[in-house]
Amino acid sequence: MRRLNIITAIVFGLIGTIAAHYLATIIFVMPVLEGDAEAPSGLVWLLENRIAFTTMFGWVVGFMIGIGAFSGPVRWVLGKDLTDEEALFLAGKDQGIGRYFRFTTDHKVVGIQYLVITMVLLGVGGTLAMLIRTNLMTPDSAFLGPTTYNTLVGMHGIIMIVATIIMITGPFGNFILPIMIGARDMAFPRLNALSFWLIASVVPVLLSVPFIGGMPTGWTAYNPLADQAPIGMDGFAFTIIVFAISSAVAGANITTTAVKMRTRGMTWTRTPIFVFGVVASVGLAIPAFPTFMAAQVLSGLDRGVGTTFYDASGGGSGWLYANLFWLMGHPEVYVILIPALAALLELTPVFTRRPLFSFKAAVVAISGIVGLSILVWAHHMYISGWAPKLGGPFMLTTEIISIPTGLLFLVFIGTMWRGRIWTRLPMMAVYAMLWNFVIGGITGVYLSDIPADEAMHGSMFVTAHFHYTLMGAALTGTMGALVYWFPKMTGRMFDERLGKWGFWIAQVGFNVTFLGMFMVGFAGQPRRVFNYSEVFATGNFISTMGAYTIGIGMLIFMYVVISSWSRGAIASSNPWKAKTLEWQVPTPVPLENFDVLPIITSDPYGYGRPSPDLAATDQAPKEGASL
């Protein structure tokens, strides 16, 4: 256990890869070669996919053995429970920077690990976006070949989806949430580390997709097209399966922590809104993501075992895939969006010095969005021909979901109204999010409407709409959350002077890019096209220039993150004078967060009210102190 780290994980992963590859060849291919007749091409195809899946499985299992993920379960079966000393080692005690490269159970280490992997994924996905936009700068560009273009579009999509799903609940849900509720760790520390390392193990598989044939389907991986795609598609399906397992594990862990481990006195009405947002997100993912996983398992079986779930000639149906996919696909939007909005709701009272306006309305709005989000999936299938009679009900549920979303806007505006706003970078993220999300939200109402959707479905308008939602609202919210919690997580202040430049350059670039995209989409340009008509040239050129501007802004922002982390000004324990618990503990945060657990006697947003609490003293709580 003590010798295992990322190096042993990679070594074991490579051994697992090679062993699985040869084993699969012996088991699956040798019997066929022994026959006299030449194997039919269909069978060769199945065998190729079978070997690919087995090889990827070998990598992940080997990697997880090498990082030490199976040590706990094996010791449990053998009845050799961890001693306190071993548990402290697993928690990363006295291991310096090495703890970030091990199967470390401390939630703060896992939070930082998630933050780094999220930034890496966003960087890769963003680079792919630059390549895509470069190709689309002129109507008949040959910068990328059509096959490469399709693969990069799909890769950009899935990388960004994975990154944005984990970008709040991973770093901040792990690092901040347990401290915020007055807990010493997560409910299941080993599952916590497991959820991270599962993602870390499968990222190389995902990134290998372009090198093993690519994927022509976009991130939705629609069947039966995916059934006919090269082996790269196996990499996609395998990634989703592992990611869904990781999400279920993380979801169970975070939800249990929030529900069962809140400190004494922290009733639901005294629980910070960020906790509600994170729980809503991971709680929604628990039932939603397994359907996506099932869709990919069936796709993998079609490709590797010879089932015919999506093959119409064998009794299958593409509609089956579409249903399973979108049963996850639409809730997934809210899995991404809700925690980002909740993070901004959390920081808005801090910078307006006012209580959160109508806390209960915010909770009702989040609950309403979660409830309705599982009843809207078929609006993605209006023109697929599936169940036309259900179009009306799905249009209704989709349009109704704008009501709780609108309620959240009211909470933001109500909190800011007549407040003495302290306009720091996190608060700027609130302004930017409100602007972007109004555009993203209203264009979503158009698309929920069947007649409008029939005209705009599959166009660049849709692409612009969901980027306004996922990037304009969720990613912007994450940038605000990062700056807000940066001092607590790194012990250093974020350099806002340069950071503001990066942030606003990216925001301007974002609006230029996607307003241009609305323009060409409204004029009829389809998405996922390699070349396009001359009539869309101006809009696309504008979008590409905007995308480069985003790239410049994001590079500046990333530089500021890295430079502030390494040599920023040392942060005090509560630089924002905030009232939630994470700001009441020392920075750096001790291993178990609290020596004595605090007792909560008031809500976390009591700004402007006389309070006996210690929030403004910049001191760690004394033993038994009430907060």
Residues 449-508 that bind other proteins (CB under 8 A): 489-491
Stretch that binds other proteins, among 54-62, 312-320, 464-472, 609-617 (CB under 8 A): 312-320
Smallest distance from other proteins to CB 214, Å: 24
Rounded CA-CA distance 451/266 in Å is 48
Smallest distance from other proteins to CB 344, Å: 24
570: three-class secondary structure by DSSP = strand
Q: Which of 134, 256, 358, 563 binds other proteins (CB under 8 A)?
A: 256
Written as six digits, the tokens of 291 are: 């359907």
**CB closer to other proteins out of 95 and 405:** 95
Stretch that binds other proteins, among 182-190, 337-345, 359-367, 411-419 (CB under 8 A): 182-190
Rounded CA-CA distance 409/531 in Å is 39
DSSP 511-540: HHHHHHHHHHHHTTPBSS-SS--GGGHHHH
The CA distances from residue 480 to 108, 127, 265, 473, 499, in Å, are: 19, 22, 29, 11, 11
Please tell me whether residue 34 binds other proteins under the rule CB under 8 A.
no
Q: Which of 21, 184, 500, 577 binds other proteins (CB under 8 A)?
A: 184
Please tell me whether residue 30 binds other proteins under the rule CB under 8 A.
no
Rounded CA-CA distance 478/500 in Å is 15
Please tell me whether residue 534 binds other proteins under the rule CB under 8 A.
no
Q: Which of 31, 35, 42, 612 binds other proteins (CB under 8 A)?
A: 42
Stretch that binds other proteins, among 73-81, 273-281, 466-474, 513-521 (CB under 8 A): 73-81
Please tell me whether residue 246 binds other proteins under the rule CB under 8 A.
no
* Phi then psi dihedrals of residue 599, to 5 deg: -120, 130
Please tell me whether residue 338 binds other proteins under the rule CB under 8 A.
no
Please tell me whether residue 265 binds other proteins under the rule CB under 8 A.
no
Task: Determine the residue type at 246.
Answer: S
Where in 277-296 is the site for other proteins (CB under 8 A)? 286-291, 293-295
Smallest distance from other proteins to CB 43, Å: 4
Q: Which of 34, 38, 77, 497 binds other proteins (CB under 8 A)?
A: 77
Q: Which of 41, 566, 567, 609 binds other proteins (CB under 8 A)?
A: 41
Q: Which of 79, 610, 612, 624 binds other proteins (CB under 8 A)?
A: 79
**CB closer to other proteins out of 291 and 540:** 291
List beta partners, residue 459.
Answer: 526
**CB closer to other proteins out of 101 and 501:** 101
Where in 103-122 is the site for other proteins (CB under 8 A)? 106, 108-109, 112
Please tell me whether residue 252 binds other proteins under the rule CB under 8 A.
yes
Written as six digits, the tokens of 38 are: 């030449």
The CA distances from residue 584 to 328, 368, 528, 626, in Å, are: 38, 32, 49, 11
- For the four alpha carbons of 408, 274, 121 and 299, in that order, the dihedral sign comes to negative
Of 433, 428, 366, 426, the closest CA to residue 401 belongs to 366
* CB within 8 Å of 185: residues ≥ 6 apart: 91, 105, 106, 107, 178, 592, 593
Give first-to-last CA distance, the chain, whole Å: 39
DSSP 37: S
Smallest distance from other proteins to CB 258, Å: 11
Where in 562-601 is the site for other proteins (CB under 8 A)? 586-592
Residue 597 contacts residue 264 (beta carbons within 8 Å): yes
| Residues in binding contact with other proteins, number by CB under 8 A | 77
Smallest distance from other proteins to CB 30, Å: 15
List beta partners, residue 570.
Answer: 492
Smallest distance from other proteins to CB 27, Å: 15
Please tell me whether residue 360 binds other proteins under the rule CB under 8 A.
no
Written as six digits, the tokens of 205 are: 């598989």
Q: Which of 139, 204, 265, 306 binds other proteins (CB under 8 A)?
A: 306
Rounded CA-CA distance 479/509 in Å is 15
DSSP 409-433: HHHHHHHHTT------HHHHHHHHH
Written as six digits, the tokens of 561 are: 């993150």
Smallest distance from other proteins to CB 548, Å: 35
**CB closer to other proteins out of 45 and 548:** 45
Please tell me whether residue 387 binds other proteins under the rule CB under 8 A.
no
**CB closer to other proteins out of 296 and 448:** 296
